[in-house]
Structure 1
Amino acid sequence: MMVSSSFSLENEKYDDDGVIKRTGTWVTASAHIVSAVIGSGVLSLAWAMAQLGWIGGTVSLIVFSLITLLTSCLTTDCYRYPDPVHGIRNPTYKIMVKNILGGLQYKLCALAQYTNLVCVTIAFTLTGSISMEAIIKSNCFHKHGHEADCTTVTYQFIAIFGLFQIILSQIPNFHELSWLSVVASVMSFSYASIGIGLSIAKIAVGGNHVKTGLTGLVVGVDVTSSEKIWNTFQALGNIASAYAFSMVIVEIEDTLKSSPPENKVMKKSNVVGVLITTFFYALCGLLGYAAFGNNAPGNFLTGFGFYEPFWLVDVANIFIIVHLVGAYQLFSQTIYSAVESWSSKRWPQSKLITKEYPVRIVLVGTWRMNVFKLIWRTVYVIIITLIAIIFPFFNNVTGLMGALSFFPLTVYFPIEMYLKRAKVPKYSLIWIAMKVLSGFCLIVSLVAAVGSVEGIISNLQTYKPFKS
């Protein structure tokens, strides 16, 4: 009897597939979604609203949120395959694509994911360094007046951010530090909330001091017709990048208890998470546009629409830096792990790749140095840092990042997996509707990418790396 009881208690620790029993609920999953989505993307929403106007900006926020909600629910139903309730679990996005769509699609998915991860680390480097620069400028303006020449050299701050990442990248098992995700989430909520608060204060004090419009920037007054088109495309990419969380949705669902069925619980979490996120984005975008009007800066916490209280602006930018320093590691560790795992399998006998050397560091302890990791991770950070120095264009890079990730990862793969799992007949009403949606999102991503690339090319004509 005692043996049976012991076996029962031990069995309660595991799910039906032998994995440690999961304890997540719709509340924790909703929190994970909100934490994953709300980040540095909020900083560009006021600028995006200025390009699109009250009508276009509001409609775009709603449309992107609805598309994200739909495709996230489609992905949710593919967590277990072939049956959404009793099928085999797919613990990660890539494994899901591989099991449902096959090897070729899996390779394309991996390419899209790693391309997005590289773009994200570039964007984080750029955004974090801009916040460092903003702190210096904020204190300069406070001390010498708002008309003072507080010009700084951006590339120096990019280099400083990169240096920090080189050091942090050498910490073993950095990706296992769960507290880092919590800190990053708190920081992102904090600086976004400060931005909302400062926008409300600016609106209350300034009255009708800014010019806004139903369609945003006015052709012939604020911009030329071609600039209006390109800026509109970039703005769509900026909004798309703000909703990029498809890569982690499967991992979030994998934390849920097996009963009730994960897909039903996750759909509820999707609705709650996307609603909260869209409300938060609306506050950042709409209030930011109301505060700055058509002159909204590309980054509403570093573009100096806010000068005072200078200390609060400094605090917000410190929060951004702390968030992005940690978030950079959370994203880059996936790239590090993939390359190092492949290399160890490819050259298992190489001491350069496999051998570790104990290095005693005063006040820290023993660091087990691996030469390959040291070289490879350092080179990666240096390359990312150099790219950020060459292309330090916040809105363009953010728009391109959104364009590259939105269609393949948020729309295409979820729709294709759903159509196959649900065995939707070709040319049926649902099949046609899904294909039309996929085609529409492809067009949006393409125009956003073209607009962002055009913006980068245009800026490169006047920008001089290492000089300005």
Structure 2
Amino acid sequence: MARVDCNQEEEESPLLQTSHQILKGNIWTALAHFIAGVIGSGVLSMAWSIAQLGWIAGPLSIILIAFFALVSAFLISNFHVYPNPTNGNTTMNRSFLQAVHTILGYKNGLVCGCLVYFSLFKTGVVYVITSATCIRAIRQSNCYHEEGHEAACEYENKYYMLLFGIVQLLASQIPNIFHTKWLSIIAATMSFTYSFIGIGLGLAQVIGRGKIEGSINGISTANPTQKVWLVAQAIGDIAFSFTFSLILLEIQSTLKSPPSQKVTMKRTCTIAIFITTSFYLLSGASGYAAFGDSTPGNILTGFGFYEPYWLVDFGNACIVLHLVGGYQIYSQTLFAIAERWYAEKFPESALTSDIGSLKVLGLPKFRVNPLRLCFRSTYVISTMAVGMLFPYFNEVLAFSGSIIFWPLTIYFPVEMYIVQQKIVGWSSRWIVLQVYSTFCLLVTMFTLAGSIEGLVAKRFG
């Protein structure tokens, strides 16, 4: 009989969770985690992305990338339980990185590890930048309301990055993703709230003017080369908005059964991506219809909307609250990988011994150990530092999306599926999968070139 290798000694570690805690999740908690992790900074840039691509290519790009993301999600959900043909054991893969290492081997796992760490880190950086931009926008909104729209209401982002970082220093001491259920629910609620606000303000602007702005070709530029780079950045922004593959198996590990975790996860992914895509299309279309060639990079902080100022303030406050939870959804995945590795490598280390307890954000008290305190604090400070160095919203989003979309969302899931299903090389299924992967690679290379050009131009131009 095949032996199930669930790594029971991990479950007893203070850095991990016991099995009875892991199996409490359902489709609603998974949906909250999913939406909190997916609908984030990306929705704010959808109007700008559609503005670069135009009324036809913009929505089609969102739908196409959403389809790619759904295919990837369905593939990844199959890897949670992997019957290893080499030793007859069944491995429970509780993270994307573990799945790659188990199915594709050490070398692929090493490459994937570097990309995973970069992806999780860059998401933290993007959330730092976005939160600071939103806090600054609240101050600017009140300033414009009191002194007029032409007033010089400029404030430094770095102070607001520090403020967000202080909150995350505390929130990062939450032990793991299983304790973030309420943060995810709040974050998901905030996602819907500020998305509705952005959509509503855009539609109100269109109705008030009685005219739909924009064109089929998108924003025109004097330099055709610059137009190409902007299109590449827009596709990169959209790709960033659908990069959730890293947290899917972590979420799937929280689900109870029956029904099977795979079935629940596929239902969750279908619902979540449908909701996400609908919001992206509505937000992008309403923003572009309202502003046309003047569409700002961030629909709520670019000050296309000045009034009602209190609603703009509320929308930005919702974004900040969402990013507090969203930051943790991604960071907890990285924390779990690093701390699990350390606990296995140095099981007797004093750094994993509890030194006290901490109460965070009204949640129950958590045990604190030196490893968690030092590593997580260093991580938060590092994301703040990089955010201060490159505080460019759209360009950072495009770079983040383009550099990891193909390998993590397309390549590794496709290769794992080929190995798991034992698909023969040059068979019809193999050819379809390789064409699909190659097409996405070409798109990713295009967006990466555009995002690098944008970052260089902003930083050194």
**TM-score, with normalisation over the residues of structure 2?**
0.85
Q: Percent identity?
A: 39
For the Cα contact (< 8 Å) 1:399–1:452, is it kept in 2?
yes
Greater Rg by CA = 1
Structure 2 match to 1:380: 379
Structure 2 match to 1:115: 118
Structure 1 match to 2:144: 141
Structure 1 match to 2:135: 132
Structure 2 match to 1:276: 275
Which deviates further from its counterpart, 89-98 or 382-391? 89-98
How far apart, in 2, do the equivalents of 1:204 and 1:138 lie?
A: 23
Which deviates further from its counterpart, 430-439 or 263-272? 263-272
Structure 1 match to 2:335: 336
Aligned-residue offset at 1:207: 2.3
For the Cα contact (< 8 Å) 1:175–1:330, is it kept in 2?
no
Letter in 2 for 1:50: A
Give the secondary-structure state (helix, strand or coil) at the position aligned to 1:311. helix
How far apart, in 1, do the equivalents of 2:92 and 2:75 lie?
A: 15
How far apart, in 2, do the equivalents of 1:264 and 1:397 lie?
A: 35
Structure 1 match to 2:76: 75
For the Cα contact (< 8 Å) 2:40–2:191, is it kept in 1?
yes
Trace 1:296-335 onto structure 2 (pairs within 5 A). 296-335=295-334
How far apart, in 1, do the equivalents of 2:247 and 2:292 lie?
A: 34
How far apart, in 2, do the equivalents of 1:171 and 1:265 lie?
A: 26
Aligned-residue offset at 1:251: 3.5
How far apart, in 2, do the equivalents of 1:260 and 1:321 lie?
A: 35
| 2:412 is aligned with 1:413 | yes
Structure 2 match to 1:217: 219
C-alpha spacing 1:424/1:434, structure 2 compared with 1 (3 Å): same
Structure 1 match to 2:57: 56
Structure 2 match to 1:5: none
Aligned-residue offset at 1:170: 4.3
Structure 2 match to 1:437: 436
For the Cα contact (< 8 Å) 1:40–1:188, is it kept in 2?
no
How far apart, in 2, do the equivalents of 1:378 and 1:28 lie?
A: 27
C-alpha spacing 1:107/1:61, structure 2 compared with 1 (3 Å): same
1:381-409 Cα distance to aligned partner (Å, 9 max, x none): 22221211110000111111111231112
How far apart, in 2, do the equivalents of 1:227 and 1:36 lie?
A: 32
For the Cα contact (< 8 Å) 2:247–2:330, is it kept in 1?
no
How far apart, in 2, do the equivalents of 1:257 and 1:375 lie?
A: 33
Aligned-residue offset at 1:266: 4.1
C-alpha spacing 1:246/1:360, structure 2 compared with 1 (3 Å): closer
How far apart, in 2, do the equivalents of 1:455 and 1:94 lie?
A: 30
C-alpha spacing 1:164/1:87, structure 2 compared with 1 (3 Å): closer
For the Cα contact (< 8 Å) 1:49–1:235, is it kept in 2?
yes
Trace 1:146-295 onto structure 2 (pairs within 5 A). 146-170=149-173, 176-208=179-211, 211-220=213-222, 224-256=223-255, 258-264=257-263, 266-295=265-294
Structure 1 match to 2:4: none
For the Cα contact (< 8 Å) 1:175–1:333, is it kept in 2?
no
How far apart, in 2, do the equivalents of 1:360 and 1:211 lie?
A: 52
**TM-score, with normalisation over the residues of structure 1?**
0.84
How far apart, in 1, do the equivalents of 2:277 and 2:369 lie?
A: 44
Structure 2 match to 1:40: 41
How far apart, in 2, do the equivalents of 1:241 and 1:47 lie?
A: 14
Aligned-residue offset at 1:121: 0.5
Give the secondary-structure state (helix, strand or coil) at the position aligned to 2:150. coil
How far apart, in 2, do the equivalents of 1:129 and 1:405 lie?
A: 24
Aligned-residue offset at 1:47: 0.5
Which deviates further from its counterpart, 236-245 or 445-454? 445-454
Structure 1 unaligned blocks of 5 or more:
1-17, 463-468
Aligned-residue offset at 1:169: 3.1
1:64-90 Cα distance to aligned partner (Å, 9 max, x none): 11111222222233333349xx97643
For the Cα contact (< 8 Å) 1:141–1:148, is it kept in 2?
yes
How far apart, in 2, do the equivalents of 1:332 and 1:37 lie?
A: 14
How far apart, in 2, do the equivalents of 1:253 and 1:359 lie?
A: 29
1:243-288 Cα distance to aligned partner (Å, 9 max, x none): 1122233344445555555545544443333222211211011111
C-alpha spacing 1:173/1:452, structure 2 compared with 1 (3 Å): same
For the Cα contact (< 8 Å) 2:213–2:288, is it kept in 1?
no
